[in-house]
A and B are shown apart, each in its own frame.
Chain A
Amino acid sequence: MVKTVVRIDDLRLEFLSQAGPFEALKGISLEIGEGEIVGVVGESGSGKSVTAMNLLQLLPRTKINVPTGSISVLGHDVQAMNERQLQAIRGGEISMIFQEPMTALNPVLRVKNQIDDVILRHRHVTPKEAEQISLKLLADTKISDPQRVYESFPHELSGGMRQRVMIAMAFSCSPKLIVADEPTTALDVTVQAQILDLLKERARDTKTSVLLITHDLAVVAQLCDRVYVMYKGEFVENGKTSDVIGNPQHVYTRALLNSLPEGKAPKSRLATVSAAMLEGNTGEVIDEPIESVTRIARTGDTILKMQGATVRYPKDYNFFGRPVSFHTAVDHVNLEIKEGETLALVGESGCGKTSLANAVVGLNLLSDGAILYRDKNILDLNEETLREIQIVFQDPQSSLDPRWPVWRIMTEPLTVGKSPGKSELRERAADLCEMVGLENSQIDRLPHEFSGGQRQRIAIGRALSVRPKLLVLDEPTSALDVSVQAQILNLLLDLQDEHGLTYLFISHDVSVVKHIADKVAVMFQSKVVEAGDSDQVLTAPTHEYTRTLMNAVPSLNRAFAA
C-alpha cells in the first residue's frame, strides 16, 4: 500500500485585498504518494503557485483566509503548526526548488555556505562532513567540477549550473517531498532537458516524491506520473499523464492541448481556450477540430538579404579608452528572405539572434558585411523606406510607455514628420485596434490595464500603423501563456495573409517555429549552422547541433514513452 506523502482536502483560499477577498483556490483536493512525481499544470493566474507555496505555508498568514480545507504533509497538519515547527520540516522533510535560480540563491554568499547551511541545520554532522556531503551532492547533479562550483558565487555560474545547485540543495537532507515551482522555465531548451532528466533520475533513485508546478504540458509529459490540470483555482482534470494527454476529458484540457502548436498542421488556425470555454460547455468532449485554415506562402522576390553580417561588441579597453578585444555576437551570417515568407531564427540564449534582429532594424550597426533591403543597403535607405521594416519586441510590459494611452502608443509612428490632428490619430488607432483584435472602446486606457496578450497586440498594432512590409518579431510569444500564444499566432498568420507581410521570426520555441515558419535558420554561438525549408531542418536536421536541439525539445509524445 503506497504511503501518502501529501494530502490536500477541499482547500479554499482567499486573498484579502483592498477590493475585497479574492478567491484563489476554490476547493482543491490533491494526493501524492511515496515516490510519485505529480504535476500541476495551468496558466498564469490559475493558482498553481499558490498551491505550492501553501504546502509549505509560505504565504503571509495575515493576508490570506482559509475558510475550509486541510493540508496534511507527511502526516503533519501544516496549517496548525507554528513557525518553529514548520522550520523544522522545511528543508529537511520538504524542500523547494524555485523558478529563478538567481533570486533563490543568495548572491553575496558562496555556494558552499548555502548548501552547508541547509545540511548543518537538519542533519547532525560536523562541518567537515557537511562539506563532503555537499561535494557528493554536486557531483550527483552531473557537475563536472564540483570543487570549483562549491567555492563559487552564484553570479559566476550559468543558469543551468545554478539550478543544479538548487537541486543539490533540495536533495541534501533526503527529503520525502520536493516541490518544484517552474524549475526550468528560465532555462534554455537543451539545459532544460538535462535538468528534467536529472530531477527524474534523482527522484527515482532516492524514492522522493516530487510536486512539479509548470505551465508546460510537454514538461509534464516528460517527467510526471500523474498530472492535475488547474484552471481558475480548480482542478478540472487529473489522472495518469498518458491518460490526460492522450485522452483528455475536460473541455479546458482539450482546449489547452489544442492550442499548443505541437502536432498541428503548420499554419493552421489554433484553437483558443477562450473560444472553447465560452461555448456553453457541458464538459462534453468536442471532437471536431476547429476549422484549420492552411495558408500557402505567397512568395515573391527576395526582400531581405544578409551578406556576411557581423556584429561585434567591444570587450576590453586599453588605457586610452580604445577597445582592444571584441566579442563576436554575429559571425558572417548569410541569409535571404523572400517577400511573403516567414523566416524563423532559432537558437538558445546568447547565440546572437537578437543582435542580428537588432541589426536588421538598425538598432545595431554591423561591424562587417551588409544587409540589403530590396537590393539596397539599409544604410542608404531614406526614412520612408526604412519605415517598411518594423519590430515587435519580446516583453510587452517594457515596450510600451506606461504613461501613454493606447491610442497614442499605437499612432506614435504616424506622428513622425507630420502632425496629424488628435481626432485623426484616434480614428486610426480605432482601426488598428480592430485589426489586431482589440475593442475600440479601449483606446484611452493605459498599458497596465491590459493583459500580457493584449499588450502584445498593442505592440503589433503599433508596428502595423505605418504599413510595413517586413516585420521583425523578437520572441513575441515567449512571455505569454500558451492559450494567449495561440491567439497571437493566429493573429500573425491572419495579418500575414491579409497584408502580404514578410516575417523574420525569432524564437527558441521549436513547436511555434514549426507551426508558422516557411524557412528556418538555426543559430549557435554567433553562426548560422543550418538553414533551409522548415520541414527539412526541423524533422531531418543535418547539423549535429540542430539534432541536439530537436532532441532536447520536450514533446507531448514523451508521455506515451515507457
Chain B
Amino acid sequence: MSEVKVSRTGGLLGTEEGKTFSWDKVRQVANPEIVIAFTLFTILMVLAVFGHFLQTHEPMQGDLLKRFTPPGQEGYLFGSDHLGRDLWSRMVDGLQWSMACALTANIINLFIGSTLGLLAAEKPGALRIIVNQFVYTLQSLPGLIILICVVVVVGQGFMTLVLTLGLLSWVVYMRVIYAEASSLFQREYVQAARLAGVSRWSIMFNHVLPGVRASLFVVFAFHFAGLLIAESALSFLGLGAPLGVPTWGNMLAESRQYMIRAPWMLIVPAGAIVMAVVTMNLVGDGVASLSRKKGRSIDV
C-alpha cells in the first residue's frame, strides 16, 4: 500500500498544489456517509443530464383515458396525474428545470457574495463598513416575501426567477467568506507578501482565495439545497415557473386537489424535493468533513 500523505494543516480538500489523486486517499476517508452522499449525487447528476433519454412519455402530453393511473400500472412508472400525464417523465423535466435554475442562481450568488466578502475582509476602512451595513440590511429583509413581491411585479419566467434568486440570496456566501478571509488576511505570510510589495489582488487571488476554497464548496452544496426549496416554494405559490411547465413546485400545487384520490401525485414531487435536498445536504457534509483538519498526534 503506497504511503498516503495527508497534509497536517488541512484535510483532503482545499490544501495545496501539486497534489496527486490516489485511490488510497479515497479509501482512507470514505465512510458510509460520504459514499451514500456521492452516490446519490451521481444519480441526481445522471438524471439531470441524461434525463431526456430516460423519459417514458411526453411530459406535457396527457392521455385523458388514463387519468389517475396508480404507479407501476400501464407503463406509468410513477403513475399519471389528473390529465393523464406521466409523473415520472414530468419529474425528470422538473428536475432539469429546478436544477438549472438553482445552479445558475447559485453561481451568481457565489460570485457576488465571495467578491463582497473578500473586499470587506481585506482591510478595515470605509469599504468594510459599507459592505457590512448593506449586508445587515439585506439580511433583515424577509427573503421569500421579497421574492414574491418581485415576481408579482416583474412577472414569471425562468430568467426572472434566476435573476431574482441570484441577486438577493448571496448573503450566506458573503458572511462565510468574510469570516474566513478575515482570519487569513491576518496571517503572517500575507503580511510578508505585503511587505515584499505583492499587489493586493495577487494576495487575494493567490493566498486568500485558495484558503477559502473548501468553505466555498461546502456553502455551494448547502445553498443549492436552499435554492431548490425556494424555487419549489415559489412555484407552489404559482409564482415560479409558468403554469404547465412541469416543475416540482407546480406538480405539488396541482396535486392538492387530488391528494386523497391519487396520493402519488403528491408523493412524487414531494419525495423528489426531499431526495434532492437531502442529497445536497449530505454532499455538503461530506465536503466539509473532507476538508476538516486532521487531529494532532501526541507531541513527543
Contact = CB atoms under 8 A, between A and B. Distances in A.
Interface of A: 15, 17, 19, 24, 44-47, 49-50, 53, 59-60, 63, 361-363, 383, 386-387, 390-391, 393, 395, 398-405, 409, 412-413, 415-417, 444, 446, 448, 459, 462, 466
Interface string B186-207: 0111011111111100100001
A416 B197 contact: yes
A399 B188 contact: yes
A115 B26 CA distance: 48
Contact of A398 (B188, B196, B199, B211): B188
Given A395-B188, A402-B9, A402-B10, A362 B195 contact: yes
B297 A17 contact: yes
Contacts of B211: 403
Interface stretch (B14-22, B161-169, B224-232): B14-22
B3 interface: yes
A403 B198 contact: no
Given A19-B3, A398-B189, A446-B7, A403 B297 contact: no
Contact of B197 (A50, A401, A403, A417): A417
Interface in B174-223: 187-189, 191-199, 202, 207, 210-211
25 contacts: A15-B298, A17-B297, A44-B299, A45-B300, A46-B300, A47-B300, A49-B300, A50-B300, A387-B196, A387-B197, A390-B196, A391-B192, A391-B195, A393-B188, A402-B10, A403-B10, A403-B211, A409-B189, A412-B196, A415-B198, A417-B197, A446-B7, A446-B16, A446-B18, A462-B192
Interface string B254-287: 0000000000000000000000000000000000
Interface in B149-174: none
Contacts of B7: 402, 446, 448
Contacts of B191: 363, 393
Interface of B is mostly: loop
Given A390-B196, A402-B15, 5 more contacts: A49-B299, A49-B300, A401-B189, A412-B196, A416-B197
Nearest to B190: A401
Contact of B298 (A44, A46, A59, A413): A59
Contact of A403 (B16, B194, B195, B300): B16
B292 interface: no
A393 B8 contact: no
Contacts of B187: 398, 401
Contacts of A416: 196-199
Q: Which of B188, B192, B297, B299 has the most CB of A within 10 A?
A: B192
B2 to A, nearest CB: 12
Interface of A is mostly: loop
Contact of A386 (B16, B197, B207, B297): B197
B16 A400 contact: no
Contacts of A393: 188, 191-192
B203 to A, nearest CB: 10
B6 to A, nearest CB: 10
A19 B2 CA distance: 10
A17 B193 CA distance: 37
Considering the complex of A and B, which 7 residue pairs feature the smallest CB-CB distances, nearest first?
A413-B196, A416-B197, A399-B188, A402-B9, A403-B16, A401-B189, A398-B188
Contacts of B196: 387, 390, 412-413, 416, 462, 466
Contacts of B10: 402-403
Nearest to A448: B8
Contact of B207 (A44, A401, A413): A401
A201 B197 CA distance: 54
Nearest to B6: A18
Given A403-B210, A446-B7, A448-B8, A412 B195 contact: no
B252 to A, nearest CB: 45
Contacts of A362: 195
A363 B186 CA distance: 12
Contacts of A399: 188-189, 192
A386 B194 CA distance: 12
Nearest to A396: B188
Nearest to B189: A401
A63 B297 CA distance: 10
Interface in B1-45: 3, 7-10, 15-18
Q: Which of A44, A59, A60, A401 has the most CB of B within 10 A?
A: A401
A24 B7 CA distance: 22
A417 B199 CA distance: 8
B31 to A, nearest CB: 16
Nearest to A462: B192
Contacts of A417: 197
A409 B17 CA distance: 13
A412 B10 CA distance: 22
A401 B207 CA distance: 7
Contacts of A390: 195-196
A44 B298 CA distance: 12
A193 to B, nearest CB: 26
Contacts of B202: 415
Interface in B286-300: 297-300
Nearest to A51: B300
Contacts of A402: 7, 9-10, 15-16
A59 B300 CA distance: 11
A363 B195 contact: yes
A342 B7 CA distance: 38
B281 to A, nearest CB: 28
Contacts of B198: 412-413, 415-416
Q: Which of A402, A404, A466 has the most CB of B within 10 A?
A: A402
B188 A444 contact: no
Contacts of A459: 192
Contacts of B9: 402, 448
A24 B16 contact: no
Nearest to A47: B300
Nearest to A389: B195
B16 to A, nearest CB: 4
Nearest to A17: B297
A362 B192 CA distance: 11
A118 to B, nearest CB: 24
A142 to B, nearest CB: 31
